[in-house]
Amino acid sequence: MSLTTEFTTTDGYKLTLNTGLFINNEFIEGSSTIETVNPSTGQVITAVQAAGEKEVDLAVEAAHKAYYGGWKTSNPRERARLMNKLADLVDRDMDELAHIETLDNGKPLTDAKSFDVPGLAAQLRYFAGCTDKVHGKVIETQGKLSYTIHEPIGVCGGIIPWNFPLAMLSWKIAPALAMSNTVVIKTSELTPLSALRFASLVVEAGFPPGVINIITGYGHITGDLLARHNRVSKIAFTGSTAVGRLIMKAAAETNLKKVTLELGGKSPNIIFDDVENLDEAVFWSRLGIYMNAGQVCCAGSRIYVQEGIYDQFIEKFKALAASGTVGNPYDEKTIQGPQISERQFDRVMGYIETGKSEGATCLLGGNRVGDAGYFIEPTIFTDVTPKMKIMQEEIFGPVVAISKFKDVDDVIEMAHDTDYGLAAAVFTSSLKRAITVSNRLEAGTVWVNCYNQISENTPFGGYKQSGNGRENSVYALDNYTQIKAVKINIGL
């Protein structure tokens, strides 16, 4: 059976898509198939192979064999060479990968080309640079030579979401590989294609079979199997908080594998009246919520504007939000593509309905765009109260709630009225205010005078119920390391 398919995009780009499961450097059949849909049109692109218990076992066994068969003890220079080579191939095939990403996910092609695919390469290169800089400690102890070794863990499972398919893939595999772990990645069944195309590059780069395995499957089937697998020693999950709990429970009920979680958010974006440049604050705020059609875990979905500049801000923000082109993601002018699926579309529209029925004012948007695909207008709610659903629950769509605030104590209290703690932002020109407010905010990332600035070398992760552990930067290596203390008696 053929595990590739040809597809031509609406902008005339010819793609060859891999549709198999990528295990042991080969594409193989699965237990069933899953259709993946183009969210811009609602049409099926193709069907991909899906992994059941048998294939998950195959993938984990392949990873286990590769780990003990040489990857665990591989030379760090060699790991770095392979990761850098893979990054070079990603750069070479940037155009094709970006087209696949836009086809499967719906994000504007300009975003895929400027952020998603370059981010994948950057992540690989950053962690390639870490491979030979993993240092244990030598610790002074009586009568002994004591030292620590920072060892890999073994087979690491990664369960990634559909909002930034390639970027999320890189966030999981790069630190894992750098630390000599092998990986089994389960992509989202909504966006399997770009990772499968990337898998061809894994072979071309020369990675030994079994080091990187990429499988498609439903979360509640394939993901659950991976989270419960006895030979998987660590699982990293990015997705909803609800599913994060299931992963942690699955680990607790089986082999107590290490767990890191990157979950939801309801991040506050706070704009003080001494903001340096209101137009810039408006620019960043818009990026903060409407980027990726609002499908960003750290989206600034609650904006708090200080009383004095509230009206001005609303006027400018409304104008800027309304001016963006929502539509065909292949069009250069487009800044917002469709939501990922009909289900997510319905969910977001449901929240918009709820916002209205709970008494908030729908200042802008609130409607579907066009009648094909899952496009939603950039939407603004005002006259919101803290306990409204649209202020408490993560919508994951182009919907923002804007509130007024009096002073710093007032807004910090409101900002913290959430179980989440993924990110936050502060807009101010005052040095003292910038530092003290960012100190006080309970969030894993605090932006000052900007939003959604994410890079491979700064840590990212949640406070409170937004997650456990940090991704990116050297902090991420901790998630893929286990510490061994060796204590040699020389005088006792």
Partner 1 sequence: MTVNFATEFTTSKGDKLSFNTGLFINNEFVEGAGTIDVINPTNGEKICAVQAAEEAQVNAAVDAADKAYREVWSKTSARERARLMHKLADLIDANVDEIAKIETLDNGKGIAFSKGYDIPEVSKTLRYFAGFADKLHGKVIETEGKLSYTRHEPIGVCGAIIPWNFPLMMAGWKLGPALCTGNVVVLKTSELTPLSALKLAELVKEAGFPPGVVNIITGYGHIAGEKLARHPKVGKVAFTGSTAVGRLVMKAAAETNLKKVTLELGGKSPNIIFDDADIDQAVAWAHKGVFFNHGQCCCAGTRIFVQEGIYDKFLERFKEYTSKTKVGDPFEQETFQGPQISQVQFDRIMGYIQAGKDEGATCFMGGNRLGNSGYFIEPTVFTDVKGSMKIMQEEIFGPVVAVSKFKDEADVIEKAHDTTYGLAAAVFTQNITRAVTVANKLEAGTVWVNCYNELDYNTPFGGFKQSGIGRENGEYALDNYLQIKAVKINVEL
Residues annotated as part of the active site: 262
Residues forming contacts to partner 1 in the complex (CB under 8 A) are: 137, 139-142, 144, 146, 148-149, 233, 241, 244-249, 251-253, 255-256, 258, 261, 263, 419, 434, 438-439, 443-450, 453, 455, 457-461, 463-465, 467-468, 470, 473, 475, 478, 482-489, 492
CB of 426 to partner 1, least distance (A): 9
Q: Is 10 or 455 the residue whose CB approaches partner 1 more closely?
A: 455
Q: What is the DSSP pairing of strand 302-306 with strand 268-271?
A: parallel
What span, in angstroms and rounded, lies between the C-alpha atoms of 208 and 203?
Answer: 8
CB of 298 to partner 1, least distance (A): 11
Residue among 101, 271, 284 at smallest CA distance from 187: 101
Check: CB of residue 479 under 8 Å from CB of residue 306: no
Q: Is 55 or 456 the residue whose CB approaches partner 1 more closely?
A: 456
Q: Is 338 or 421 the residue whose CB approaches partner 1 more closely?
A: 421
CB of 117 to partner 1, least distance (A): 18
CB of 248 to partner 1, least distance (A): 3
Q: Is 76 or 459 the residue whose CB approaches partner 1 more closely?
A: 459
CB of 431 to partner 1, least distance (A): 10
CB of 492 to partner 1, least distance (A): 6
Enter the tokens of residue 361. Answer: 């004012």
Check: CB of residue 104 under 8 Å from CB of residue 194: yes
The CA–CA distances, whole Å, from 315 to 280, 307, 310, 311 equal 14, 14, 9, 6
Enter the tokens of residue 247. Answer: 């992963």
Check: CB of residue 194 under 8 Å from CB of residue 185: no
Handedness of CA 453, 240, 322, 112 (dihedral sign): positive
What span, in angstroms and rounded, lies between the C-alpha atoms of 466 and 164?
Answer: 18
| HEC letters along 45-78 | EEEEEECCHHHHHHHHHHHHHHHHHHHCCCCHHH
Check: CB of residue 140 under 8 Å from CB of residue 478: no
**3-state DSSP assignment of residue 416:** coil
Enter the tokens of residue 94. Answer: 């940037």
Q: Is 262 or 377 the residue whose CB approaches partner 1 more closely?
A: 262
**How many CA within 13 A on the CB side of residue 29?**
4
Q: Is 26 or 253 the residue whose CB approaches partner 1 more closely?
A: 253
